Amino acid sequence: MNKFYVLVGSNIKPQINIEKGIDLIHKSKIIEIDSMSKEYHSDPVGMDGNSFINMVLKCKTKSSFRDTLSELKKIELHCGRVRDPNNKFTPRTLDLDIIDWNSEEAVIEGYQMPDPDIKKHDFIKIPYSEIKD
């Protein structure tokens, strides 16, 4: 069983989109949520726009990193997420990022684990430390 943590974020109708995203994760056949941090409210970093609501989910799955990431990206799309390939700093309906995979220190499918941004930003560090084993 793979244990992992997901950073959840939104600054477009965040209460609605985060609730919808979590509901879709609960309905997922491959991801199980073990616990959720409290919400963390913050100003946007690197962009203009509304404030963000972030939280971290502690999850588990029998699926691979790639399949789990694919499932999370499908949920983002279902919640109206539009990615700008030229600018990652844009407002978003829902962002679901794996920030820790089995507590491994490695590059997995091109993603550094644990995410180095955990140490840089309180909006990740605080909710992550709240539920991290």
**CATH at residue 111:** 3.30.70.560
pLDDT at 87: 63
**pLDDT score of 89:** 65
- Which domain range does residue 87 map to? 2-131
Residues 6+ apart with CB under 8 A from 108: 65, 101
In a 3-state reduction of DSSP, which class is residue 64? coil
pTM of the model as a whole: 0.93
Note the pLDDT tens digit of each residue in 15-73: 999 999 999 999 999 999 999 999 999 988 777 778 999 999 999 999 999 999 999 99
Which tens digits make up the pLDDT trace of 86-130? 766 667 899 999 999 999 999 999 999 999 999 999 999 999 999
Distance (Å, whole) CA 125 – CA 23: 24
pLDDT digits (tens, 9 = 90+) for 76-87: 999 987 776 776
> CA of 44: how far to CAs of 1, 54, 121, in Å?
34, 11, 11
Q: Number of structural domains, the chain?
A: 1
